[in-house]
């Protein structure tokens, strides 16, 4: 099996541009995941994000996790727990309106840094979407525009801040159960010392290597639909670890607006596929999310079929 794709975005505007674009295309088409280095967020800034995130967990969330999750999940546990995840999380919403000043217990410095973090990742997400457009033969800005709804007028964007504490019985519980991500494009800043993230490739679980100061990118269900399956969302999970330092993860989701109508780009729908009814469905993103919230840890294909059964009007091909 080929090595996990690590792409140097800093070379994009140099003589190696064609090579970098080919690497992005291969990663999107064959992995659904890739890791970016030299992506524009400075190592010093990311170190600050990591430090403040870990401090916040220690000061404000660790004890609650021990009381509400750890003791209850492990008490008398003999068989694998398939209903609970070994993680401590909170969610920051950035777009359409930020909730960063409503989340309790965040220090002013942490709020300021996370606001800047979100701004930088939003810019990176939009840059990546345009690179995907270029590889797909879509006009620049197509994917960003596809995320706009008639009322919402823009994407939704938020960050799930997670900590995976050391687990004494990792064989009995997952840090996070296997799933595909429902949204558009996901940007992950993960711990570089404690591993755990894996993706399913060729029916084998493959480690996403911890790499200092990298940003891991993965494709969500909505991009699978818009590309009509050319790029696919991929099952991934987090294994609980016994490592005493625990694992940090900041996953930022750049998603369509709630009222955005999602459907395959007509340029990517071949007439033969349409005739065989091998075209992905057309639906409102909010409707998909309502279904996803009830079946997140189940296969994605029945979700697409359910949306197809309720789909509005077929997509015209070129």
Dump pLDDT digits (tens) for 134-185: 999 999 999 999 999 888 778 999 999 999 999 888 888 889 999 999 999 9
Dist CA 209 CA 186 (whole Å):
17
Q: Where are the beta strands (DSSP E) in the chain?
A: 6-8, 33-37, 88-95, 156-164, 174-179, 185-190, 197-201, 204-207, 215-219, 236-239, 247-255, 261-262, 283-284
DSSP state of 40: S
pLDDT at 134: 97
pLDDT tens by residue, 41-77: 999 999 999 999 999 999 999 998 888 777 777 665 6
pTM for the model: 0.92
- Tell me what the mean pLDDT of segment 199-227 comes to: 96
Helix (H) or strand (E) holding 74, with range, is helix 71-74
* List of domains in the chain: 6-312 (2.60.120.330)
Q: Would you say 228 and 280 are in contact if contact means Cβ atoms under 8 Å apart?
A: yes
DSSP state of 13: T
DSSP state of 5: P
Which residues neighbour 286 within 8 Å (Cβ) at sequence distance 6 or greater?
258, 259
Rounded to the nearest integer, the mean pLDDT of the chain is 91
Helix (H) or strand (E) holding 48, with range, is helix 43-56
The percentage of residues in the chain with a pLDDT greater than 70, rounded to a whole number, is: 92
pLDDT band per the 50, 70, 90 thresholds, residue 316:
very low
pLDDT at 314: 45
Dist CA 183 CA 198 (whole Å):
19
pLDDT at 69: 75
Cα–Cα distances (Å) from 222 to 134, 145, 184, 230, 265, in that order, read 18, 13, 5, 12, 11
Burial class (CB in 10 A: 0-12, 13-18, 19+), 154: middle
Helix (H, G, I), strand (E, B) or coil at 254: strand
Cα–Cα nearest to 278, from 286, 269, 266, 287 = 269
pLDDT at 135: 98
pLDDT tens by residue, 258-299: 999 999 999 999 865 665 566 899 999 999 999 999 999 999
């Amino acid at each position: 099996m080929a090595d996990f794709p690590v792409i140097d975005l800093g070379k994009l505007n140099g003589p190696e541009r064609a090579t970098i674009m080919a690497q992005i295309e291969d990663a999107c088409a064959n992995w659904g995941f890739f890791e970016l280095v030299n992506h524009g967020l400075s190592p010093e800034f990311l170190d600050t994000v990591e430090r403040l995130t870990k401090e916040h967990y220690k000061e404000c969330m660790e004890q609650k996790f021990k009381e509400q999750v750890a003791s209850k999940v492990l008490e008398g546990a003999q068989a694998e727990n398939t209903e609970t995840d070994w993680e401590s999380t909170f969610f920051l919403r950035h777009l359409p309106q930020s909730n960063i000043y409503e989340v309790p217990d965040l220090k002013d410095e942490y709020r300021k840094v996370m606001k800047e973090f979100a701004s930088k990742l939003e810019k990176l997400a939009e840059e990546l979407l345009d690179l995907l457009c270029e590889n797909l033969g879509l006009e620049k800005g197509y994917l960003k525009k596809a995320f706009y709804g008639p009322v919402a007028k823009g994407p939704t964007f938020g960050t799930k801040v997670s900590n995976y504490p050391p687990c004494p019985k990792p064989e009995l519980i997952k840090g996070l159960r296997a799933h595909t991500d429902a949204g558009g494009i996901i940007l992950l800043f993960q711990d570089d010392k404690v591993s755990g993230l894996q993706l399913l490739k060729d029916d084998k679980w493959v480690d996403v290597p911890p790499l200092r100061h990298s940003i891991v990118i993965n494709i969500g269900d909505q991009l699978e639909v818009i590309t009509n399956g050319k790029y696919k969302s991929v099952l991934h999970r987090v294994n609980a670890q016994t490592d005493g330092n625990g694992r940090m993860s900041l996953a930022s989701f750049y998603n369509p607006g709630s009222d955005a109508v999602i459907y395959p780009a007509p340029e990517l729908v071949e007439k033969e596929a349409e005739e065989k009814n091998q075209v992905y469905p057309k639906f409102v993103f909010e409707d998909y999310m309502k279904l996803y919230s009830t079946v997140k840890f189940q296969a994605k294909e029945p979700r697409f079929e359910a949306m197809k059964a309720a789909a509005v009007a077929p997509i015209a091909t070129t």
